[in-house]
Each structure stands twice: as structure tokens, then as C-alpha cells.
Amino acid sequence: MSEVDSNKLTLVTCYYSEIMYDVHIQWIENLLLSTKINMVIFCSKKDLHIFQKYSDRIYLKLWVLEIDQFYMQKCKSMTKKYHILSNEKPFFLQKVIDKNPFDTYWFAWIDIGLIQNNSLVSFLMQNFKPERALSKLDPKRIYIQEIGSIQNFKACDQYGISLINKNKNISQRLTPLQSGFILGRYDMILDMKNKYEFLLERYLEFGGVIGKDSPIYANLVCNNPDLFSVFQFSEENWVNYYQNNIQLWFINYLIDKQT
């Protein structure tokens, strides 16, 4: 990692038609039109044709990984494919960090369906330039977004703050964080991945029911306050006029302040 550009970012995402909806095709286009940041998209071989018209973009790489090759397939008690995909994010990130195709220090997971309103595309093209914001972020932290009160979550042990929440269905619990955008330096992302994997194994070992990934991230944030920083919403810095979507609050921290 000594020769990489410390001011560059690689976005990581995925698309699997077997799990996602047809409307994601439009949202994919919104995302790809909104930014020219380095990006790796995981997909199945049968879905490669969807991205054919973007194949000439040097900042975009398509990596084939079939669902049956996911790390999460080892969790035999997890039967819903959406939950398997949701919990695969840190392992997607690890694969990209290991090969680092764009030679960057910073990596971010971004849900491929995050930009749902095409009216937002032109705004993002002009303003969403997170690489200019990287120097302002702490390289020793993971950044994730709050959509509820993390303090309320922390105060309620029944919602999963315990390392082992035996026989609790955490997929149905309060979710104060959203995992559609997770940003950090490569070594911090790998640290997060290891902690995530350890927590998954403890839930499985003691009979916990694993569903969506957001409660697990909330658990990690509460138990590792020195590793995570939370993007918090403020009316004063709201810049997203086009899409009133709480999942996009992080844009307020990563837009180009010079425009």
C-alpha cells in the first residue's frame, strides 16, 4: 500500500438480478451517471450484459462472483438470499482491498440502488466529489450513517448491544444505522470486517437469528467507539434538495465545498 494515492477512493457495490428488483436497473444508471469515481461492481455472469454500455469506462471494473461463492453461504441457518447479500458487504470490500485495482487507500461500500431519483444526477455530478473531503476525515475511523438515535440503541440491551444476543431475532430490532454507505481507509475496513465476522460467528454459535446487516453494524459501533464515526443529520447542512431520502445524509459531509 506504500505506493497508492492517499487522496483517492474506490467505491464498491453489487448487482444480482436474482435478488434485486427490475427498478434497480434505473438506479444503477443514476449512480453511474452521478460520479466518475473508481468503482468495482460485483455481479453474476448472467448479469454482465446489464453493464455492457459502460464497459469503456476506465474507472469501472466488473467482477464476477456467483452467489454460491459468497462467504455468507457458510451460514446455513440464513435462508433468505437478500439477507445473505446484505451481510456480504464487508467481504466484498475485503476482496477489492486485497487486489486494489485502482491503487487507493480509501474504500467505500455504496448500495447500487441508493440514487433513486434521477433528478439528483446532475446535482451529484457537480457536487459529489468525496475525494476532496478525504483529507478532512480521520484515517483511523470508519464512517457510517445514522438514521435514528444510536444512543437509544445503546441504552437498550435487548436490541443487540450485547456481544451475544442469544435467541433474539436481530433483523426485527431497532436499526439506528444504515449500511448503504460505509467509508474508511483500507486497514480500518479490514479491521471492521474482522470484527463483523467474529460477531456473526458468535450469533450463529449461540443461536442468534441473523437478518439484515444494519443491527450488526449498530452493535459494532456501540462496542467499538474508537473505530467508528457516525455521519449525523443536521438541518443546517442539508444540501440534498432533490431527494428527501434519509439514506443520503452522508452527502452533506462529502460534497465539494468549493462549488
167 φ/ψ sector (left φ>0, alpha ψ -120 to 50, else beta): left
Instruction: Please count the structural domains in the chain.
Output: 1
Q: Does 143 reside within a domain?
A: yes
Cβ(197)–Cβ(210) below 8 Å? no
Side chain identity at 228, as an amino acid letter? F
Q: Report residue 208 as a C-alpha cell.
A: 442468534
Does a structural domain hold residue 224?
A: yes
| CB distance 59 to 43 below 8 Å | no
User: Do 185 and 106 contact (CB within 8 A), yes or no?
Assistant: yes
Q: In tens digits, what is the pLDDT along the chain, a chain of 259 residues? A: 545 555 689 999 999 998 887 778 888 888 888 788 899 999 999 999 988 888 888 889 999 999 999 988 877 767 688 888 989 999 999 999 999 999 999 999 998 887 777 777 777 777 777 777 788 889 999 998 876 666 666 554 444 545 444 445 444 455 667 788 899 999 999 999 999 998 888 777 766 666 778 778 888 888 888 999 887 655 544 444 444 555 566 666 676 555 4
Residue 259 lies in a domain: no
**Domain with 115 in it:** 5-254
3-state secondary structure at position 67: helix
Q: What's 41's domain CATH number?
A: 3.90.550.10
